[in-house]
Structure 1
Amino acid sequence: MIFLVVFLALVIDKLTDWRRVVQDDGPWLRLLARVDGGAGTAYGPWLSLFFLVLLPVLLLGMLLLALEPLAYGWLSLPLHLLVLLYSLGRGQGKRELGPFRDAWRRGDDEAAALVAERDLGLSATDAPGLLRAVEAQLLWRSHQGFFAVIFWYVLLGPVAALAYRLLALTIDHAKSEAVCERASQFRHAFDWLPVRVLLASFGLVGNFVAANRAMLEDLLNWGVPAPQLLAKVGPVAADLEGAYAGQAGILRLDSLAALLVRARILWYAAIALWILFL
């Protein structure tokens, strides 16, 4: 059922707008508004995380346990699908990147900087630095919006996938610095293994020697954040050239996107083989 749920989620994501309907964060954001009062939250960071992350995860686990004995577990399939769709990343990466690509292709650095700050929340002191920041965000959004979620869903089921997404939402929306810090620590733990699996995938579908050389130094380093590791290894695995200006910069983004597509295909094949021989 795992492969079927992943396949259906990807088809729905690509062919319909149902993901936006499923990803209604309104109820959770209202819970966040009650629990998180900023720096002076009355609940404390650990109790806040209990209400925001652990409690929904426990409720989901209990519901799955109740559905599992019914109809050989097939009644839980719609719930698996809904949770996986909800746990995928927010936003439309290609659509949000479109205006930046147009400005960069024209060679209008000022417009590209304004668009990057408006649509992507990025800024840099020079044009090459801005493009590198966009490349790093593209890699990070793909990891936290897709690869990490799929990894934990396949390994531990919808409970882990939902926990990952709720931690990400807490980091993005919580006002309390203490709550964000605790959530960031947990997400770092969640990211440690899947980001290294993803980088190994980059080596298999990209420049194997260069990617492994770049990754080897920090392979077992717990302190390196996942975005930093992705920004270091991803461009090397994609064999990006040194040129940044105009069309050359667009080709860099296209090469990274192609690397991510190849990694997805590799993951689909690996999941299918893992399910087949399990």
Structure 2
Amino acid sequence: MAQILLAVLLVLACAYALPDLARWRDFSWLQVWLAQWTRASGDAARPRFAAVLLPLLLFVVCELIEFVLDHVLFGLPGFAFAVVVLFYCWGPRDLDADIDAVLQAPDSDRRLAAAQALRADGAAAPLPFESAPLVEATFAAALSRWFGVLFWFVVLGPAGALGYRIVQLLARHPGFADHIDANQGELLERTARILDWAPAHLVALTLALVSDFDAVIKTWRDYHAAHGKGYFTLDLGFLGAIAKAGIDADVEAGDGYASDVSNPLVELADAQRVLRRILVGWLALIALVALIVLTH
């Protein structure tokens, strides 16, 4: 667990200190591979079948590479491999940079244009420059870019992070739509929601701890009561609802020296601060587990 914490800290440090390295997070090879498979096979079923099995295949390959490297030179190559894979799967866009681009834009037109980078992959409708959509989109982006990758990296190592990112891309990135039919797309989307379920709930719990606990928990309960599906479903819409409730409560309490919950810039700036608190909370939890493991 200590190695996991160190790997995460190194990736965060690299992302902050060397933002230009983000250009290496390029998954175009995946599109090229699927396109070549399509042309070579001449059978529509085969590439789509391959697209569904691809995350599992890459997961197994990544696990094998990690296993081999962990048994060479005291595991140092395995640790380096884990850091590289986590960095590769982080993002791929820098969430802080995208938020800062909105906050620092000099006029409303450029703020609106910058805000579109916070939309989910494949979203057709433009993101309106309003408090609620901005906060919800920012938390959804944080789940996909940060917390989902981090959760599965902690649970399953670099193979977990890579598997999560590949499923997210195949299920939601428009660049892969031509190679995946409706049935396979539905299966991939369901898998993506399954992989998002645990980290989304952990984000919700951490949000309650670092924000207004009562407001977050009440909104969480109200959301599930209104939709009548219970807590153990793949409906993750609660995350946007509780994010808005938590940010509103923070802003009304004067966090960031502003109290206007209708101001999108104020709410977006507070959402950035709260997401950083959540990330720190996750790191503190990993550090606590590492300490417990080391002392036993």
Aligned partner of 1:232 among 237, 241, 247: 241
TM-score (norm 1): 0.84
- Corresponding position: 1:151 with 2:151: yes
Counterpart for residue 166 of structure 2 = 166
Contact 1:35 1:48 in 2 (8 A): no
- Cα separation, 2, equivalents of 1:258 and 1:119: 16
Shift of 1:68: 1.9
- Name the amino acid aligned to 1:168: Q
- Cα separation, 1, equivalents of 2:22 and 2:278: 24
Q: Deviations over 1:164-187 (max 9, x none)?
A: 000111120321343332211111
Counterpart for residue 140 of structure 1 = 140
Q: Deviations over 1:124-160 (max 9, x none)?
A: 6x76xx4422221111111110011111111221111
Provide closer, same or farther for how the CA distance between residues 75 and 97 of structure 1 changes in structure 2, counting only shifts above 3 A.
Answer: closer
- Cα separation, 1, equivalents of 2:270 and 2:235: 25
Provide closer, same or farther for how the CA distance between residues 233 and 165 of structure 1 changes in structure 2, counting only shifts above 3 A.
Answer: same
Counterpart for residue 70 of structure 1 = 72
Unaligned regions of 5+ residues in structure 1, if any?
none
Shift of 1:21: 4.2
User: 201-210 or 26-35, which moves further after superposition?
Assistant: 26-35
Shift of 1:115: 5.5
Alignment of 1:43-82 (within 5 A): 43=46, 45-50=48-53, 52-82=54-84
Counterpart for residue 22 of structure 2 = 20
Q: Deviations over 1:85-104 (max 9, x none)?
A: 1111122334444564466x
Moved over 6 A (4+): none
- Cα separation, 1, equivalents of 2:79 and 2:118: 36
Give the superposed CA RMSD. Answer: 2.7
- Cα separation, 2, equivalents of 1:214 and 1:95: 29
Q: Deviations over 1:65-90 (max 9, x none)?
A: 11222233222011101110111112
Structure 1 SS opposite 2:30: helix
Shift of 1:34: 2.9
Counterpart for residue 189 of structure 2 = 184
- Cα separation, 2, equivalents of 1:211 and 1:192: 18
Q: Deviations over 1:38-62 (max 9, x none)?
A: xx83326443211x31222111111
- Cα separation, 2, equivalents of 1:16 and 1:115: 21
- Cα separation, 2, equivalents of 1:16 and 1:206: 30
Contact 2:99 2:268 in 1 (8 A): no
Shift of 1:4: 1.0
Counterpart for residue 204 of structure 1 = 209
Q: Deviations over 1:11-31 (max 9, x none)?
A: 111100364243121322211
- Cα separation, 2, equivalents of 1:259 and 1:231: 14
Counterpart for residue 5 of structure 1 = 7
- Cα separation, 1, equivalents of 2:156 and 2:117: 37
Unaligned regions of 5+ residues in structure 2, if any?
225-229, 253-258
- Name the amino acid aligned to 2:213: F
- Corresponding position: 1:222 with 2:237: no
- Cα separation, 2, equivalents of 1:98 and 1:67: 38
TM-score (norm 2): 0.79
How many residues are paired up?
Answer: 265
- Name the amino acid aligned to 2:196: D
Structure 2 SS opposite 1:174: helix
Aligned partner of 2:34 among 32, 35, 46: 32
